[in-house]
Amino acid sequence: MKQGYTTCHCHGENEESDDESEIDSEPHDSQNDDMHNLIEEAYPQEPNSYVKEFYNLLEKCEQPLYPNCDKLSNISFLVKLIHIKCINGWSNKSFRMLLEMLKDSFPMCDKLPTSHCEAKKIIIDLGPHYEKIDACDNDCIIYYMEYREALECPVCRLLRWQPKGKSRKGKNIPWKVLRYFPIIYRLQRLFMSSKTTASMR
């Protein structure tokens, strides 16, 4: 205790002090408590669905493209293929034809998908989750909160959806879409990785 310390009566401190009572002056090492492990042992918890997906993704990342392949995993190969598809504007049909040819030419790559839809299902957990929010074409508002159900922009009166032509039928297509990435999923990823957990703390 610091010499000359003033007792704060308003905060409930007691002025009584025994000379015989000794104050433990040893520094408290919080790292030796191991409180985190004690709590986990007392209250074991099953990982939630998001954590399970993350661990499943890690397992997939460790699966090689073919036996004894050290350079590429199945997921990294698919990511590079889809990246090339997006940059060069390939259609889903041409991408499916390429996957079918690769699978026929390299039968050892038995985990390769045969369509663009199957490939997206495999790598969909790689990216952070996001929410799609419709937006006005003139950037006046986003259709969120009080405007979630609005059918037109209250500022410029532009309709929310693009007009349907004779050749296009089906669901409504907004003029613009805002993709919102919630921070919770990014923080969960950072805390679940052993390489970034210490920095987050």
Write the DSSP symbol of residue 60: H
Tell me what pLDDT residue 26 has: 47
145-184 pLDDT tens trace? 999 999 999 999 999 998 876 555 678 889 999 988 888 8
Nearest CA among 175, 164, 172 for reference residue 139: 175
How many structural domains does the chain have? 2
Q: Is residue 35 part of a domain?
A: no
Asked if residue 113 and residue 74 are part of one domain, the reply reads yes
Query: Which pLDDT score is estimated for 40?
Result: 54
Same domain, 55 and 118: yes
Q: In one letter, which amino acid is 95?
A: F
What is the reported pLDDT for 142?
A: 93
Contact 176, 165 (CB under 8 A): no
* pLDDT at position 104: 87
How far apart, in whole angstroms, are the C-alpha atoms of residue 137 and residue 162?
A: 10
pLDDT given at position 159:
92
Query: Under a CB-based contact definition with an 8 Å cutoff, are residues 133 and 180 in contact?
Result: yes
- Domain of residue 183 covers 131-164+172-200
Domain check: are 56 and 118 in the same one?
yes
pTM for the whole structure: 0.48
CB 188 within 8 Å of CB 179: no
Last residue of a domain, one of 61, 93, 123: 123
Write out residues in the chain with pLDDT < 70, as ranges. 1-51, 54, 125, 127-128, 165-169
Same domain, yes or no: 180 and 158: yes
**Which pLDDT belongs to residue 21?**
44
Residue 11 CA to residue 28 CA, distance in Å, equals: 24
d(CA 8, CA 66): 71
> Are residue 148 and residue 118 in the same domain, yes or no?
no
The interaxial angle of helices 92-105 and 116-123, nearest 10 deg, is 80
| Same structural domain, 139 and 91 | no
| pLDDT of 194 | 75
